Amino acid sequence: MSGQREPRGEEHRDDDASSAPDLDVVLSSRVRIARNLHGLPFVNKASEDQCEHVVKTTRHLLMHIPSNDRMIWVDLEQSSSHERQLLVERHLISRQHADNNIRRGVAVAENEQSSVMINEEDHVRMQVLRSGLQLSDANEACRSMDESLGNHLEYAYRERWGHLSACPTNVGTGIRLSAMLHLPALRLTNDIDRVRQAAKDLHLAVRGFYGEGSESTGNFYQVSNQVTLGRSEEAILDEFEGTIIPTLVRYERAARQVLFDKHRRELEDRVFRAFGMLGTARMLKLEEAKKLLSSLRLGVCLDMLRETDANITMNTIDNLMLLVQPGHLRQHVNCTISPEQARGVRADLVRQILIGD
């Protein structure tokens, strides 16, 4: 069952993204649960032997618990920095987990819809990813994984605090729901700061494309709950999926409509310039590519590109957002490349996928 393997560097993860709900605004949904093992110090205080013990115990279980998804173990100590980079770019591990220098690993489902990080900030951090707004589905899968592991592991738990975590911000349910949102219209109408403030008032975190510590590029924002204590998992999910994210989706759609109705010429100019640049450029920086792809994505959502011959869908663009990243480019050419060479490879790849050049 288990086996070391290199992460894929090509196609998108295996769910039917084309029919995912609210994909025009919600790129993906994620549910993460943090757990620690009873009787052991947390990772920041654990000895090498204790980290090894956590890896051995959990790895064995993860490879043998009944699950719909076959899990593959990646030993992060043994893996190359390139492999770790690919896992970060595909949101299967955090940057912190990739860069840590302790005994650690990750179990990744073969379809890449879930992963379990071992010895990140907490002993166990399991997460389930879905395209579009599918938090209930992701939550159910994550809960099932938590229960399967909890039947075999004794979690660190106190009646008052619930599940204990290394950081006070995760104690209680240990659950973090997040949605990766594409908010180009709210940015263009200068409403994004109001959204950020409203999110802060609702105890939500707004981060960039790679989560904690990252800035927004291409108008992608990761919104997540910050409160994990004093509310049940169901209450957190109901509010987040039932109210908060739909409200943000509604605001973004309304802003898009305003731009379309009142500033159509400017909007078309932005979208077609992006299309022109992406379809002709010979060198592209990562930031530049993401900004242009973001404008193009907005154009696709508003059905502006139908007059072109190009058959560009949101999936095409979302896939490109993954493929233009440095680790994926290196995987594409199958050798180490300099940042300068990467710009050339990136531009070639984008032209090839967008216009078949």
Partner 1 sequence: MKCDMCDKPAVVHEVTIVHGVKREVHLCVDHASEAGVAMPGISSSTNKLISKFSAGGKPTVMAPRCPQCGTSFAQIRQHSLIGCPDCYDTFEEPLGRLIERAQAGATHHVGRENASVDRPSERMQRERRLMDSLANALSNEQYERAAEIRDQINQLSDESQDESLESETT
Give the residues lining the site for partner 1 (CB under 8 A): 36, 38-42, 44-45, 121, 143, 147, 150-151, 154-169, 171-173, 175, 203, 226-233, 235
CA dist 320 and 12 (Å) reads 9
In the complex with partner 1, the residue whose CB is nearer, 235 or 333, is: 235
In the complex with partner 1, the residue whose CB is nearer, 160 or 265, is: 160
Pairing relation of β-strands 26-35 and 124-131?
antiparallel
Shortest approach of partner 1 to residue 234 CB, angstroms?
8
Shortest approach of partner 1 to residue 263 CB, angstroms?
39
In the complex with partner 1, the residue whose CB is nearer, 236 or 293, is: 236
In the complex with partner 1, the residue whose CB is nearer, 175 or 180, is: 175
Question: With 0-12 CB in 10 A as exposed, 13-18 as middle and 19+ as buried, what is 202?
Answer: middle
CA dist 274 and 294 (Å) reads 9
In the complex with partner 1, the residue whose CB is nearer, 238 or 268, is: 238
In the complex with partner 1, the residue whose CB is nearer, 156 or 322, is: 156
Shortest approach of partner 1 to residue 36 CB, angstroms?
7
CA dist 342 and 327 (Å) reads 10
Shortest approach of partner 1 to residue 156 CB, angstroms?
4
In the complex with partner 1, the residue whose CB is nearer, 113 or 228, is: 228
In the complex with partner 1, the residue whose CB is nearer, 33 or 192, is: 33
In the complex with partner 1, the residue whose CB is nearer, 115 or 228, is: 228
CB atoms within 10 A of CB 272: 17
Shortest approach of partner 1 to residue 226 CB, angstroms?
8
* Contact by Cβ (8 Å): 206, 179: no
Shortest approach of partner 1 to residue 114 CB, angstroms?
18
Question: Closest Cα partner for 288 from 217, 209, 338, 207?
Answer: 217
Shortest approach of partner 1 to residue 151 CB, angstroms?
6
Shortest approach of partner 1 to residue 146 CB, angstroms?
8
Shortest approach of partner 1 to residue 175 CB, angstroms?
8
